[in-house]
Structure 1
Amino acid sequence: MTASLDLATDGGIATLVLNNPARLNAFTPDMLTQLDAHCATLERDPAIRCVILRGEGDRAFCAGADIKAWAPLSPFDFARHWVRDGHRIFDRLARLSKPVIGVIHAHAFGGGLELAACSDIRVMAPGATLALPESQVGIVPGWSGTQRLARLIPEPMLKEMAVFGRMIGADRALNCGFVAEVSDDPLATAQVIAAKLMTTSPRATEVAKYMIHAGANEDRAALIEALGAGMIGATDDKAEGVAAFAEKRKPAFPGT
Structure 2
Amino acid sequence: MSDVQLILSGPIAEVRLDNPAKLNAFTVKMLLSLEDCCADLERDSDIRAVVVTAAPSRAFCSGADISEWGELSPGEFARHWVRDGHRIFDRLARLSKPTIAAIEAHAFGGGLEFAATCDIRVMAPKATLALPEAGVGIVPGWSGTQRLLRLLGEPVVKEMALFGRRITAERAHALGFAAEVSQDARTTAFEIAEKLTTTSPRAVEVAKYMIHAAVDEDRGAMIEALGAGMAGATADRDEGVTAFREKRKPNFTGA
The CA distance in 2 between the partners of 1:119 and 1:186, in whole Å, is: 14
Letter in 2 for 1:143: W
Q: For residue 119 of structure 2, what is the aligned residue in structure 1?
A: 120
Q: Does 1:98 align with 2:97?
A: yes
**Structure 2: how far apart are the matches of 1:61 and 1:119?**
14
CA distance, structure 1, for counterparts of residue 180 and residue 165 of structure 2? 22
Match of 2:134 in 1: 135
Q: Distance in 2 between matches of 1:185 and 1:57?
A: 12
Q: Does 1:203 align with 2:202?
A: yes
Query: Could you say which residue in structure 1 is the equivalent of 2:185?
Result: 186
**What's the offset of the Cα at 1:149?**
0.3
Letter in 2 for 1:80: R
What letter matches 1:194 in structure 2?
A: A
Per-residue CA deviations over 1:135-181 (Å, capped at 9, x if unaligned) read: 00000000000000011012111100001111000111000100000
Distance 1:239 1:23 in 2: 53
Shift of 1:58: 3.2
Scaled by the length of structure 1, what TM-score is found? 0.98
| Post-superposition CA distance 1:168-220 (Å, at most 9, x none) | 00111000100000000000101110111111001010000000000010010
Alignment match, 1:45: 44
Q: Distance in 2 between matches of 1:77 and 1:20?
A: 24
Contact 1:3 1:20 in 2 (8 A): no
Which letter maps to 1:15?
Answer: E
Q: Name the residue aligned to 2:64.
A: 65
Q: Answer yes or no: is 1:35 the counterpart of 2:34.
A: yes
In structure 1, what is the Cα distance between the partners aligned to 2:200 and 2:9?
Answer: 19
Q: TM-score, normalised by structure 2?
A: 0.99
Contact 2:24–2:57 (CA under 8 A) maintained in structure 1: no
- In the alignment, the residues of structure 2 paired with residue 239 and residue 57 of structure 1 have an alpha-carbon distance, to the nearest angstrom, of 51
CA distance in structure 2 between the aligned counterparts of 1:50 and 1:236, rounded to whole angstroms: 31
State the number of aligned residues: 255
Aligned counterpart, 2:221:
222
CA–CA distance in 2 between the matches of 1:180 and 1:109? Answer: 19
d(CA) in 2 for partners of 1:22, 1:244? 59
2:47 partner amino acid: I
Q: Which amino acid is the alignment partner of residue 157 of structure 2?
A: L
Corresponding residue for residue 16 of structure 2: 17
Distance 1:254 1:157 in 2: 54
- For 2:36, the aligned partner's letter is A
In structure 2, how many angstroms separate the alpha carbons of the residues matched to 1:178 and 1:159? 16
The residue type paired with residue 144 of structure 1 is S
Structure 1 residue 236: deviation in Å? 0.9
Q: Residue type matched to 1:61 in 2?
A: F
User: C-alpha distance in 1, partners of 2:190/2:239?
Assistant: 44
Q: Is the 8 A contact 1:3 1:28 kept in 2?
A: no
2:77 partner amino acid: F
Match of 2:167 in 1: 168
CA contact (8 A) 1:100 1:121 kept: yes
Give the gaps of 5 or more residues in structure 2.
none
Q: Percent identity?
A: 67
Distance in 2, Cα, partners of 1:63 & 1:21: 10
Report the Cα distance in structure 2 between the residues aligned to 1:235 and 1:125, rounded to whole angstroms.
Answer: 47
Partner letter of residue 129 of structure 2?
L
Partner of 2:236: 237
